[in-house]
Amino acid sequence: MSADSALTLVSATRTFDGWLKRYKHRSQVLNCDMVFAIYLPPQADTAAVPVLWWLSGLTCTDENFSQKAGAHRVAAELGIALVCPDTSPRGLELPGEHDSYDFGSGAGFYVNATQAPWNRHYRMYDYVNEELPQLVREHFPVNGREAISGHSMGGHGALVLALRNPGRFTSVSAFAPIVAPSQCPWGEKALAGYLGSDRESWKAYDACELIAQGDSKQALFIDQGDADNFLQEQLKPELLEQACWKHKHPLVLRRQPGYDHSYFFIASFIEEHLRYHAGYLFETHR
């Protein structure tokens, strides 16, 4: 399959001597057309580069991070490609899909749905873990070294993908992640809707539960604003701290005074996260 038949270029924007490109493709996993963004740093013109996957949060698309995080300058300096998937299938018009911001469109929660009608399309775990990475590897100059990060629902996704796939990612970080979706309203709504009422099945998508299972001991690096209006009800970072302490899982969780849940928070610390990942992607942490 050629790149031309697999991908349709939506836009290309020059930034910090690299290129931010958006592509449309037909997803076999999600059974719909999808758009993703990739930032190719200037080093990609002459050599294969490592990748940082960025997973966005509720209501976002592939565009939010690229437009608001201010990550391209540092990614260009370091020579890291940034890949930003969308947050749910698009264009389906399923019953109730657009009724609320925290379920359905823009809220795929990075799970493989098992309940109708969602199970025919809402398989974001497989899309982000398998289908889209294969497409990126086939059509872009990447060298196989990958890190992952994300925000809120996307932070949840980043933690789950890393913990379920030991050794896949060189490093993982998150901004204000949903760490225990089985114990917060956002997560309970999404997991019940996509997976059904059997809470045992939810454990595969709950970072605290995965830490308890102990299959991975990969270090976690997390920033959380202490003025985040979702802190107490939805995010509950103390549950992650407790799980990591109990199971001796390495964790750095920084509470940042005065910061909220917005992209201003992400933009303030994204450079530190990119440099953190670069240390692993380029093996300087050894």
Residues 221, 265: Cα–Cα separation, whole Å: 15
Residue 80's Cα: distance from chain center in Å?
A: 16
pLDDT at position 286: 52
In a structure prediction context, what are the per-residue pLDDT tens digits for the chain, which is 286 residues long?
333 348 999 999 999 999 999 999 999 999 999 999 999 999 999 999 999 999 999 999 999 999 999 999 999 999 999 999 999 999 999 999 999 999 999 999 999 999 999 999 999 999 999 999 999 999 999 999 999 999 999 999 999 999 999 999 999 999 999 999 999 999 999 999 999 999 999 999 999 999 999 999 999 999 999 999 999 999 999 999 999 999 999 999 999 999 999 999 999 999 999 999 999 999 865 5
Which residues are identified as catalytic?
152, 228, 261
Question: What is the chain's alpha carbon radius of gyration, rounded to the nearest angstrom?
Answer: 18
User: Is CATH 3.40.50.1820 what the domain over 8-282 is classified as, yes or no?
Assistant: yes
pTM strictly above 0.85: yes
**Strands 8-15, 18-27: parallel, antiparallel or unpaired by DSSP?**
antiparallel
Token match 């001597």: residue? Answer: 17
Q: Fill in the amino acid letter for 87.
A: T
Residues 116, 217: Cα–Cα separation, whole Å: 35
Q: Find, among 79, 281, 253, 266, the residue nearest to 159 by Cα.
A: 253
CB-count exposure of residue 118 (10 Å: 0-12, 13-18, 19+): buried
Residues 162, 165: Cα–Cα separation, whole Å: 5
Residues 274, 69: Cα–Cα separation, whole Å: 11
Residues 283, 126: Cα–Cα separation, whole Å: 28
What tens digit of pLDDT does each residue of 1-29 get?
333 348 999 999 999 999 999 999 999 99
